Amino acid sequence: MTSSMRSRVAYVVLTHRNPRQVGRLLWRLSTDRSRFLVHVDRRAGRAVDADMRRHAAAVPRVQFLRRRRCFWAGFGMVRATLGAFDHVVRQELPVDHIVLVSGQDYPLRPAEEIERFLGADLSRSFMSAGPVLDVWPDGHWRIDMWHLVSYQNLHLTVPWERRIPGGLAPYGGEAWICLSLAAVRHVVEFARANARFVRFFEHVLHPDEIFFQTILMNSPLRETVVDDHLRYIDWSPDPGPATLGVSDLDKLVRSRRLFARKFDATVDETILDLLDEHIERSTLAPDG
């Protein structure tokens, strides 16, 4: 590591299932400089929410956010993330970076090492971001057409001619991002001041992969964005991503990434045990 400074990290955790696995994730990322903002999909039952809180009870500095419905490919994940960002800004939480993770993410490195990596430059944000048509050659239809995503995978499309308000160039990438506090403040202030932009994205397909990239890559902070989402993700299956297991351990370790996704303890919990062992060895010998 080039710096011994550790970033103060707030993890925004979007989740809807596997409470015990989520509790394990929180425990693995918990340090004296971390905190957690947990959003449980409102579509999950009250029993799931209660179980999430029970499994998180032993981890310090955990807050549960107002629950919102999150449909796949819809605006719910953006709305939940914006709610978390707004909470950070309004409460003036003492943090330097905000990392968005799902309940099916898991770290590949010790939490303190992640904090040192981010602490090397507190102004940097990390997210995959490129012009939409470079990322997805047919990606324009996500934006130019009007989409409604709702219950039971309902997806309605209307071929209206639409353009992003303000003439902003669309950028896209992976939904899972790590932003500096300055970037989060900019996103919150932009969303508050540009209600038309927010309403427009309520009818974009997979807006969580475009909304934040478009705001930040059209902002003065674009030079602070590193085009890297810091994760190992296997997109080889169709549809992906793959659920990772024991057979992926060597690839995960050799990747030198900070996080990986996705994991499902009901399918393969042993991989999480093996990653814990790898992280513990890394903690004892961080340069080995």
pLDDT at 1 over 70: no
The CATH number linked to 265 is 3.90.550
Where does residue 64 fall: left (phi above 0), alpha (psi -120 to 50 degrees), or beta otherwise? beta
Q: What is the pLDDT of residue 103?
A: 98
Q: What is the pLDDT of residue 2?
A: 41
Q: What is the pLDDT of residue 161?
A: 84
- The reply to whether 212 falls in a domain is no
Residue 270 CB-half CA count within 13 A: 6
- The reply to whether 169 falls in a domain is no
Q: Give the pLDDT band (50/70/90) at residue 285.
A: low
Q: What is the pLDDT of residue 156?
A: 86
Q: Give the pLDDT band (50/70/90) at residue 196.
A: very high
- The reply to whether 22 falls in a domain is yes
| 178: nearest Cα among 202, 210, 213 | 213
| 38: nearest Cα among 210, 23, 208 | 23
| Residue/partner pairs of 87-94 with CB below 8 Å, 24 or more apart | 87/37, 87/63, 88/10, 88/37, 88/181, 88/184, 89/184, 89/185, 89/188, 93/10, 93/35, 94/8
Percent pLDDT > 70 in the chain is 97
pLDDT at 3 over 60: no
Sheet of 62-64: strand order equals: 62-64, 34-40, 9-15, 97-102, 178-180, 125-126, 225-226
- The reply to whether 55 falls in a domain is yes
Q: What's the domain count of the chain? A: 1
Q: What is the pLDDT of residue 288?
A: 41
Where does residue 256 fall: left (phi above 0), alpha (psi -120 to 50 degrees), or beta otherwise? left
- The reply to whether 105 falls in a domain is yes
pTM, 2 dp: 0.94
State mean pLDDT over 223-243: 95
Q: Which residue, chain included where needed, has tokens 């896209």?
A: 172
pLDDT at 193 over 60: yes
Domain of residue 121, residue span: 9-130+175-194+220-284
Burial class (CB in 10 A: 0-12, 13-18, 19+), 83: middle
| 87: nearest Cα among 147, 139, 38, 153 | 38
- The reply to whether 214 falls in a domain is no
- The reply to whether 63 falls in a domain is yes
How far, in whole angstroms, is CA 178 from its chain's centroid? Answer: 7
For the chain, what is the mean pLDDT? Answer: 95
Burial class (CB in 10 A: 0-12, 13-18, 19+), 20: middle
Contact yes or no for 22/102 (Cβ under 8 A): no
State mean pLDDT over 179-200: 98
Q: Give the pLDDT band (50/70/90) at residue 80.
A: very high
- The reply to whether 147 falls in a domain is no
